[in-house]
Amino acid sequence: MKTPNVRNPGTPLVICETCPPRRIHALLTPKWTSMVIYVLSFGPLRTGQLQRSMPGISKKMLTQTLRELEGDKLIDRKVFQVVPPMVEYSLTDFGLRFVEPLMALYDWAEANAQILDELERNREHALQSELPKVAS
C-alpha cells in the first residue's frame, strides 16, 4: 500500500506538522524572507544596497531578516576591515537551493499579474464591506 502524501493524499487528507509543505511555509512566512533571497540571488550586496532594492522594508526589519537567514545558514555575512566598516551579504550554497523554486513562483506572478490585481481588488472589497457603516 502506498503511503499517503500531500500530492497523493489518502483519506482523510492530513497535512502534518512535519511534512515538507508546512515546513517550507514556516521558513517563508516572514514577509521579507523570500524577497531577500531573491535579491541576493543576483549577487552579493551591502545592507544599504539591499534596503534600496526592496522599497518599503525598514532597517530594523531588514536587520532582523538578515539575522534569521544567517542563523539558518541561507546567507553569509562578510565583514570587511575598512573604515567605516563594510558588511556584505551573499547566498550560501544552501541558500542558492531556494532560488529555483522562488524564481518559478516569481515567474508565475509576472505571467499572472492580472490574477494578482483581481485578488487585491477582492481583498480590498472584502475589507470595505467589513467596515462599520457610518450613518449620514
> What per-residue confidence (pLDDT) applies to 124?
92
Average pLDDT (53-67) is 96
Q: What is the CATH number of domain 20-97?
A: 1.10.10.10
Domain boundaries, the chain: 20-97
CA distance 60 to 90: 19
Q: Could you give the 3-state DSSP secondary structure of residue 135?
A: coil
The Cβ-side half-sphere exposure at 106, using a 13 Å CA radius, reads 12
**Residues 33 and 39: beta-carbon distance below 8 Å:** no
The residue count for the chain: 136
pLDDT in tens, 77-116: 999 999 988 999 999 999 999 999 999 999 999 999 999 9
